[in-house]
Amino acid sequence: MTEGTRATTKMTDHPDIVAMSARYDRMAESFTAQATDALTVLAGLYVALSPWIIGFSETSAGLARNNLVIGLAVAVLGAGFAAAYERTHRLLWVCPLLGAWTIISLWLVIGTETTTETVLSNVLGGAAVVVLGLIAMLPMYLARRSAR
């Protein structure tokens, strides 16, 4: 090596980064993670399409728009978790929040006509998103706990 030049290494070649990437790959390849990600996408699509499936898109237009946006966001997050876990794992906490919003939005979105169908649809869809989000967070929690 001559004076004035240094050997440079890429950040991605650092042993800790390589080990962490391998751990994320193992977590993402597990059956539980793949099933959770797929079910999260399906739950998000259900929440997005529920106003038209259940039939409350005309009576509660605000809630229909809310469900469409929230459901598509959950579906995109689920697809992101499946496709690029190492880059999206820090967003896992968003799914339970979006699920909780889906549940409480029934009473907070202006102009919502609450019927048995709308309540059941949003509560069950939101609960599914919350549970799947918490299940998706479990491997990260366990990994942090075992590292201590």
Per-residue pLDDT tens digits for 5-49 = 565 667 767 776 666 666 666 666 678 888 999 999 999 999 999
Q: Residue 18: its pLDDT value, please?
A: 63
> 46: which 2 tokens?
């259900």
Task: Pick the most confident of 27-36, 85-94, 112-121, 133-142.
Answer: 112-121
- Is 11 part of a structural domain of the chain? no
CA distance 88 to 104: 26
Enter the DSSP assignment of 2.
-
CA distance 142 to 74: 23
- Is 20 part of a structural domain of the chain? no
- Is 126 part of a structural domain of the chain? yes
- Is 131 part of a structural domain of the chain? yes
- Asked if the model's pLDDT at residue 2 lies above 60, the reply is no
Domain that holds residue 125: 30-147
Among candidates 132, 1, 106, 91, which has minimal Cα distance to 51?
Answer: 106
- Is 112 part of a structural domain of the chain? yes
- Is 17 part of a structural domain of the chain? no
| Cβ(41)–Cβ(79) below 8 Å | yes
Q: Residue 17: its pLDDT value, please?
A: 63
Q: Residue 10: its pLDDT value, please?
A: 76
Report the number of distinct structural domains present in the chain.
1
- Is 24 part of a structural domain of the chain? no
Mean pLDDT of 123-139: 94
- Is 10 part of a structural domain of the chain? no
User: What is the helix (H) or strand (E) element at residue 134, kind and residue range?
Assistant: helix 116-147
Q: What is the pLDDT of the chain when averaged over all its residues?
A: 86
Q: Helix (H, G, I), strand (E, B), or coil: what is residue 4?
A: coil
Q: What is the pTM of this model?
A: 0.81
Q: Residue 19: its pLDDT value, please?
A: 63
Q: Residue 121: its pLDDT value, please?
A: 96
